[in-house]
Amino acid sequence: MNNYQADKCTHCPIRSKIYCSCLDKDNLKDLSISARHETFEKKVVILSCGKSIKSIYNILNGIIKVYQLNEEGEQQIIGFLYPGDFFGSHEGGNYQFFAETISQVKLCKIPIDKFKMHLNKDPNIKDRFYEATINELSLAREHINILTKNSAEEKVLDFIKMISSRQDKMGQPINPVHLIMSRNDIANYLGLRLETVSRAFTKLKAKELISLNSFESIILN
């Protein structure tokens, strides 16, 4: 095993935010042997709903959207994943959603059998895995809370605040808010029409609740 392979987990920039943080030196080195760092360009489907689980993933950088398909085969976006997020482990042995890159993304890919081995060997990992599961549920609740808001303006403003909060959790400034996802994806996530989202941004700006640095950069006032 070369030095890079042995050290990539030790020097991982998001190690403190993921389940690997509780591994001791020997277990971390063991994980380094099987873990692989992979980079994907924009609009690449990483995993597909219904496919057998082969690997689990941690996001090192970049953003991923997760979605399901309705009966007409149309996407229904259920969330956005950021660096430090863990995904790909579901009950039943099959992936429960599609995951697609919306920017260039770097992932840490871990074979599911290796992950389960560490999960069964170290109770601390079980605790961190439980925390990751709770985080997924929190994101789902957050989505539901946004969808229940009465107006499009409220939904869009809460969405911007949600992304700002994600930036804060990653140790980034809360302003400006970087909306890397397309307006179409935002509309899909919020259950709104594209033109409704565009009008909501215009109204929020008119009320001086937000300022627009650019299409992807929003200031919360």
- Tell me the pLDDT tens digit for each residue of 69-85: 998 989 999 999 998 88
Residues 38 and 102 in one domain: yes
| pLDDT for the residue 107 | 93
Say if residue 89's pLDDT is above 80: no
Domain of residue 157, residue span: 150-220
Give the model's confidence band at 2: pLDDT under 50 very low, under 70 low, under 90 confident, else very high.
very low
Residues 195 and 129 in one domain: no
* Phi and psi, residue 87, nearest 5°: -150, 160
More confident residue, 151 or 138: 151
Residues 99 and 64 in one domain: yes
Looking at residue 213, what DSSP letter applies? S
Residues 15 and 36 in one domain: yes
- Structural domain count, the chain: 2
Residues 120 and 213 in one domain: no
- Domain termination residue (choose one: 144, 168, 187): 144
Residue 10's contacts (CB-CB under 8 Å, 6 or more residues apart) are 28, 29, 32
Dist CA 76 CA 17 (whole Å)? 28
* Amino acid identity at 42: K
Residues 135 and 207 in one domain: no
More confident residue, 58 or 136: 58
Q: Is 0.85 topped by the overall pTM?
A: yes
Residue 70's contacts (CB-CB under 8 Å, 6 or more residues apart) are 76
Give the model's confidence band at 214: pLDDT under 50 very low, under 70 low, under 90 confident, else very high.
confident
143: Cα separation from own chain's centroid: 13
Residues 139 and 165 in one domain: no
Residues 161 and 100 in one domain: no
Dist CA 12 CA 203 (whole Å)? 42
Out of 26-35, 130-139, 188-197, least confident range: 130-139
Residues 133 and 160 in one domain: no
Dist CA 149 CA 137 (whole Å)? 19
Residues 99 and 203 in one domain: no
- Domain termination residue (choose one: 86, 118, 144): 144
| pLDDT for the residue 183 | 95
Mean pLDDT of 57-61: 90
Out of 52-56, 92-96, 101-105, 126-130, least confident range: 126-130
Give the model's confidence band at 15: pLDDT under 50 very low, under 70 low, under 90 confident, else very high.
low
Mean pLDDT of 172-197: 95
Dist CA 28 CA 101 (whole Å)? 27
